[in-house]
Amino acid sequence: MRAASEELSRKELLLNSFKLGKIDKDLFGPTPPSAFVGRFGYPEVLAGPLVSPAGEEVSLSDTPDKWLYLSREEIIGFRSNLVRSNFKLNVKDARDPGRLLKETQELAMAALPVDVEVKFLKPPRRAIQFDGILTPMGPSGTVTDIEIVENPQVPKKVDALADDRDIKATEAAILLYEASISPYQISRLLSVGTLGKKRLIVPTRWSITATDSMLGENLLKRVRNYPENADVQLFVSEAYGNHFEILFVPRAYAFGWTEMWISQKGKVEIGDLYEDAMNKPAYMDGGYYAARFSALEFLERVRRQASIYVMREVKPTYDIPLGSWVIRELVKDAFSRQPLIFGSVTDALKSVRTRINVPPNTLFLKKHLLQTRLMQFD
Amino acid sequence: MFKADILGETLKDGIEALTIIVDEARVHLGKDGVYARNADPSYVAMVQFELSAKAFENYETDEEVVTLDLKKMQDILELANRTDVIQMAIDDNRMALSFGDLKYTIALLSPYSIKKEPKVPKVESAAHVVITGKEFRWAVKAAGKVSDNIALGCANTDFFMEALGDADTMRLELSKDQLVDVSRTDGKSDEVRSLFSLEFLIEMSKAVGKASEVSLDIGKNIPLKVGFDFADGNGSVSYLLAPRIEQE
């Protein structure tokens, strides 16, 4: 638990976290590696690597799968040290990349930090932005030149798939995942246009959700063939004002997602989506697919299928969103502990409601968990 | 081989009764008439359908089982009048539908394209209630104003339909003398009730609404059976709907 840091106000937190001093026009230093593609102006977008001033430790700065036990100050701290360089390009430029894009693609493929030299048009100003899907983003500036100054270490599988122009991007992503490349790196590779037949630059926000959705879909193909989970199980996790209750019910695979955002004034905003054999979610929601991916990873590991219901309560203390990794990693984290076992769905829901306030008529409750099937009455 | 002539009204009503549960159905063309039993893809609802050979103007069959694209048939039959006589013929995996000067030929579906016939669950109801189709349709519509589910129940021989929304409620109570018929099949008098999704009941009530009488078999947290006749008593439809679990 990180109670101490959660008591800090937003302003104090930002003051404590922010370390970067004045930034020069010419920046030399490591990239974790990391690259960002914006979505504004699509298909003409801004893209480029994220680079820290020399001497900074960046090996953790772009690996959210290792962040869960860090404080918010630490996370915001090392993210605010990364300076985003921007150059404009068309998303189709991935088919015939110019020099700046080539350098960006090459560093994005690396497994370890790489030293880079970037020249900005003007010295970037100190700033930081937060988002529900994206990780916190530091200062940015228009770049005139990017040069990698050391040989990046690229995993063999990444190198091979970046060279392969006959394979679809989805298939390439699945092969990378099966070769134990982290989904965070896969999403980065997809974003900078290094995968697939018809290469495209993909805004980072979309590539994160696309990766969750694609890899999840691939896991689901196998999960659908596994036997049903034995019990009604409830997994719980909480960090950064995000509380998760994850219910597994022994039935055919279906996935439900309800999030409850509680404002400072106590108002609750609700997000409510589900999928099953016949229905897809009504819209593409980043949090939904992040949670679904982690839940499917778990089912694949235990070789079971189930109807899964992820309930997320966002407390007013989560006033600075950190990105969708919080969802992906907290759902994963819940599975690292023993679940509570219940005799029925209604008993499990009673337990959930002692901790968070889930509405009685959410889509997944109506369509699945509280709707019986005729074959139950044989 | 199957050849039959049927009144537009009977065919339209029959197909509507089936499409409330399924878009595609496996249908038995037997010596004595047509029979079908199909469940919706989620197994929440099921329809059992019978139409006697007597309902047809003319009826010849070699006895076969076919898989019909009901939605397509329904769409085509929109062009037919209720008073038209419709000629049907099935041969070589195709069905011909003729009325007026029009003749349609549509492909039958592969028998493998749909789920096998569902088992009919054994349901021992506690009460048997008969009300008019109009009244049932009206009550279901009324419930839809406040909620997305509805409880059907009986206290002694008083029948009730109750909808509980987030803030609003609706209750309809009909005592023995307001009903066409009511009896306790379990011989008891305590209150029994089950909760159902209105989504299905609203659809069912569209078909049911045309019938003069509807029978409802109700119990404690068990599937509801909704039965009615059509085609002057030569056709019968019965729906089974699985209940929702009531939260405390």
A-chain CB neighbours of B42 within 8 Å are 276-278, 371, 373
Which tens digit of pLDDT belongs to each residue from B206-227? 999 889 999 999 999 999 999 9
* Domain that includes residue A347, residue range: 232-377
Torsion of CA B94, B99, B104, B109, to 10 degrees: -40
Tokens of residue A124, six digits: 């970037």
Overall domain count for chain A: 2
Which of A158, A189, A224 is where one domain is finished?
Answer: A158
Whether residues A265 and A131 fall in one domain: no
Q: pLDDT confidence of A7, banded at 50, 70, 90?
A: low
Which tens digit of pLDDT belongs to each residue from A301-330? 999 999 999 999 999 999 999 999 999 999
Residues A73/A16, Cβ–Cβ less than 8 Å: yes
Residue A4 has pLDDT above 50, yes or no: no
Whether residues A153 and A243 fall in one domain: no
A184 belongs to a structural domain: no
Whether residues A141 and A257 fall in one domain: no
Q: How far apart are CA B169 and CA B159, in angstroms?
A: 17
Q: Which three-class secondary structure string do you get for A301-315?
A: HHCCECEEEEEEEEC
Give the count of beta carbons closer than 10 Å to the beta carbon of residue A41.
10
The average pLDDT across B153-159 equals: 96
Whether residues A240 and A339 fall in one domain: yes
End-to-end CA separation in angstroms for chain B: 56
Question: Which of B44, B240, B247 is facing A346, going by the closest CB pair?
Answer: B247
Whether residues A28 and A152 fall in one domain: yes
Residues B204/B216, Cβ–Cβ less than 8 Å: no
Q: How far apart are CA A9 and CA A133, in angstroms?
A: 22
Closest CA to B236 of B39, B22, B17: B17
Q: Mean pLDDT of all residues in chain B?
A: 94
Residue A18 has pLDDT above 90, yes or no: no
Whether residues A238 and A154 fall in one domain: no
Contact: A366, B222; criterion CB under 8 Å: no
Residues A352/A251, Cβ–Cβ less than 8 Å: no
Nearest 5°: the CA angle A329, A335, A337 is 115
Q: pLDDT confidence of B248, banded at 50, 70, 90?
A: low
At residue A2, the pLDDT reads 41
Give the count of beta carbons closer than 10 Å to the beta carbon of residue B3.
16
Whether residues A151 and A24 fall in one domain: yes
Whether residues A138 and A247 fall in one domain: no
Give the count of beta carbons closer than 10 Å to the beta carbon of residue B192.
20
Name the strand (E) or helix (H) holding A242.
Answer: strand A242-249
Contact: A373, B223; criterion CB under 8 Å: no
Whether residues A247 and A363 fall in one domain: yes
A183 belongs to a structural domain: no
A6 belongs to a structural domain: yes
Give the count of beta carbons closer than 10 Å to the beta carbon of residue A140.
21
At residue A340, the pLDDT reads 98
A253 belongs to a structural domain: yes
Distances in Å between the Cα of A321 and the Cα atoms of A76, A132, B67 are: 11, 5, 53
A227 belongs to a structural domain: no
Which residues does B contribute to its contact with A (CB < 8 Å)? 39, 41-46, 118-119, 121-123, 148-149, 166, 197, 222-223, 240, 242-245, 247-248
Q: What are the DSSP calls for B42-75, one per residue?
A: TSSEEEEEEEEGGGSSEEEE--EEEEEEHHHHHH
Name the strand (E) or helix (H) holding B13.
Answer: helix B8-19
Whether residues A152 and A19 fall in one domain: yes
Residue A102 has pLDDT above 90, yes or no: yes
Which DSSP category does A369 fall into?
Answer: I
Residue A99 has pLDDT above 80, yes or no: yes
